[in-house]
DNA sequence: GAATAATCTTAAGGTGTCTTAAGAAAGGAA
DNA sequence: TTCCTTTCTTAAGACACCTTAAGATTATTC
């Protein structure tokens, strides 16, 4: 399926759009292709687009003071990725966003999106709903991160995102789950 | 200041409301007073209201399998509290919401809020913006919880929410930060 | 298909945080 | 004021998870 078809289908899972609204919306997005390992957003740049993943897989991560990477988020087809803090506050990003596979994203500039919010109420509703859900699932992750053991977190991740586990390196999963790759490796051994 | 005045001021920090819109909005909220320790939402109940805190202080928490409490969130004047998962999915709440002081909240039923979304686009915008910000700050908390030491988390909490630290028992702060009260106590001793 | 890079595993020793148990201090109710 | 409840502290021993370092696999590139 074409990237923009995917996006439209994705939007219509949550809100109602007329044909003419759909045209306006889709025309606001530009396609961007990324090679494996290519970086979509660099630390220090200001994020100025929202990005819908049409194909492929990305991660958002940051480097701490000791230059260690921490994976904040994965994204696959049908998800949105960004350094949202940078996007919302227009300050330099603290995160990188990087393709882990050949990837296609659809980007909309924040000015254009602001225009859509004013013109097409369904778009404002779409993002209101999107953020509500995102908040709830992030809260779930936070609670897990703080109160569950490494093994429990891994098992939950595996049952929830089996597809992602198979597509990304194990050390990135470890990082996403807040443990060392060595510990995850040992833990996995014990499971079998 | 009157509860509804506070709410209106709060809304107008983010969006524009005409006088007549303001009236419609405020009429949709009902005031509810809570005594210290009173419970606003019980585990097992379905959350059907969004709640704005006009005065006082609350916490949201859940009990794990071993009957230990985990504080998910604090809220003071000008914040919103809820078990959002229960509210959004209309399933039984996993969290309690409890007043930690004599508290006044303004509640709006989800059906009424849905009506406002349809009638008054500024309200949809308000919550879109609210959830964007909430998501970003929760993400910050998640990153901290996963990658920082107990001491760092506590110091950050203290500098960010000094007011809350002074209003709630220390063991609840420990729980919110994902550590035991004993450890927080020891940690604080070392700081001086 | 060889060479190089990326990823995963193993293991020993260390540290941060928890558990348990007890007592001390502070707060609220009568 | 006094009593009872809630909250906070102290300390010893335990354990989950980390660090470091090295070698073993598996992918990627030319």
List of chain B residues whose C-beta atoms are within 8 Å of the C-beta of residue A140: 85
Q: What is the largest CA-CA distance in chain B?
A: 56
Q: Do A97 and A176 have their domain in common?
A: no
Task: Confirm whether any atom of chain D, the nucleic acid strand, is less than 7 Å from CB of B149.
Answer: no
Q: Is the pLDDT of residue B163 over 90?
A: yes
pLDDT tier at A99 (50, 70, 90 boundaries)?
very high
Strand, coil or helix: A77: coil
pLDDT of residue A76: 97
In angstroms, how far is C22 C1' from B114 CA? 54
Query: Which tokens go with B104?
Result: 């006044």
What integer best gives the mean pLDDT of chain A?
96
Nearest CA in chain B to A114: B125
Determine the pLDDT at residue A5: 97
Instruction: Say what the pLDDT of residue A154 is.
Output: 97
Q: Are residues A85 and A173 in the same domain?
A: no
Nearest CA to CA, how far is B106 from chain A (Å)? 20
For residue B85, the chain A residue with the least C-alpha distance is: A136
> Residue B152, exposed/middle/buried by CB under 10 A (0-12, 13-18, 19+)?
exposed
Q: Is A104 in the same domain as A94?
A: yes
Spatial distance from the CA of A52 to the C1' of C6 (Å): 29
Structure confidence at residue B34 (pLDDT): 95
A169 phi, psi to nearest 5 deg: -60, 145
Residues A101 and A68 in one domain: yes
**pTM listed for this prediction:** 0.95
For A96, the 3-state DSSP assignment is strand
pLDDT at B164: 97
Structure tokens at A129: 């709903």
* B41 lies in some domain: yes
| Confidence band of A67 (pLDDT split at 50, 70, 90) | confident
Shared-domain flag, residues A64 and A158: no
Distance between the alpha carbon (CA) of B40 and the C1' atom of C6, Å: 53
Nearest to B125 by CA among B16, B19, B52: B16
Structural domain count of chain B: 1
CB contacts, 8 Å: B138 with chain A: 135, 138-139, 142
CA B151 – CA A137 distance, rounded (Å): 27
Same domain, A58 and A135: yes
Torsion, CA A148, CA A154, CA A160, CA A161, rounded to 10:
140
Does A48 share its domain with A69?
Answer: yes
pLDDT at B151: 96
In a domain, B39, yes or no: yes
Task: Report pLDDT digits (tens) over B108-152.
Answer: 999 999 999 999 999 999 999 999 999 999 999 999 999 999 999
For residue A26, the domain's CATH number is 2.60.120.10
Chain C: nucleotides below 7 Å from protein CB are: 6-12, 16-21
Say yes or no to pLDDT of A65 above 90: no
Q: What is the pLDDT of residue A131?
A: 98
Q: How confident is the model at residue B168 (pLDDT cuts 50, 70, 90)?
A: very high
Residue B182 counted as domain residue: no
Inside any domain, residue B12: yes
In a domain, B96, yes or no: yes
| Confidence tier at A66 by pLDDT (50, 70, 90) | confident
Closest CB to B143: pick one of A70, A124, A125: A70
Q: Residues with Cβ < 8 Å from A130, sequence gap 6 or more?
A: A14, A80
Q: What is the model's pLDDT at position B192?
A: 73
Q: What is the pLDDT of residues A70-81, one digit of tens each?
A: 999 999 999 999
* pLDDT above 80 (res B70): yes
The pLDDT, as a whole number, for residue A191 is 87
- Whether residues A169 and A76 fall in one domain: no
Nearest of B182, B191, B175, B192 to residue B63 by alpha carbon: B175
Does residue A165 share a domain with residue A104? no
| A82 and A137 belong to one structural domain | yes
* Residue linked to tokens 């524009």: B16
Residue B77 domain-assigned (yes or no)? yes
Distance, Å, B187 CA → C23 C1': 20
E strand map for B77-166: 80-81, 96-99, 103-109
Distance from the Cα of B53 to chain A's closest Cα (Å) equals 19
Whether any strand D atom is under 7 angstroms from the Cβ of B182: the reply reads yes
pLDDT for B188 equals 96
Classify residue B107 by its DSSP letter. E
Supply angle C-alpha B125, B126, B130, rounded to 5: 115
Give A3 to chain B, closest Cα distance, Å. Answer: 25
Range of the domain at A171: 148-192
Please say if the pLDDT value at position B1 is more than 90: no
Question: At residue A192, does pLDDT exceed 80?
Answer: no
A5 exposure class (CB count in 10 Å sphere: 0-12, 13-18, 19+): exposed
Task: Write down which residues 139-158 in B have CB closer than 7 A to strand C.
Answer: 149-151
Say if residue A163 is in the same domain as residue A137. Answer: no
What distance in Å separates the CA atoms of residue A128 and residue B79, rounded to the nearest whole number?
18
Gap between the Cα atoms of B137 and B160, Å rounded: 12
Domain contains B155: no
């Amino acid at each position: 399926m074409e990237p923009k078809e995917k996006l439209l289908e994705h939007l219509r899972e949550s809100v109602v759009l007329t044909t003419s609204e759909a045209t306006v919306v889709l025309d606001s997005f530009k396609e961007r292709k990324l090679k494996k390992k290519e970086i979509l957003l660099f630390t220090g740049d200001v994020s100025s687009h929202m990005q819908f993943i049409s194909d492929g897989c990305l991660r958002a991560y940051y480097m701490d003071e000791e230059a260690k990477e921490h994976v904040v988020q994965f994204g696959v087809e049908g998800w949105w990725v960004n350094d949202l803090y940078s996007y919302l506050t227009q300050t330099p990003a603290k995160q990188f966003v990087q393709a882990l596979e050949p990837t296609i994203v659809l980007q909309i500039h924040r000015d254009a999106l602001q225009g859509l919010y004013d013109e097409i109420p369904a778009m404002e509703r779409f993002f209101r709903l999107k953020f509500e859900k995102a908040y709830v699932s992030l809260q779930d992750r936070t609670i897990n991160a703080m109160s569950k053991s490494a093994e429990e977190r891994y098992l939950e991740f595996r049952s929830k995102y089996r597809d992602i586990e198979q597509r990304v390196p194990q050390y990135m999963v470890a990082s996403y789950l807040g443990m060392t790759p060595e510990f995850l490796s040992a833990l996995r051994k014990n499971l079998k």
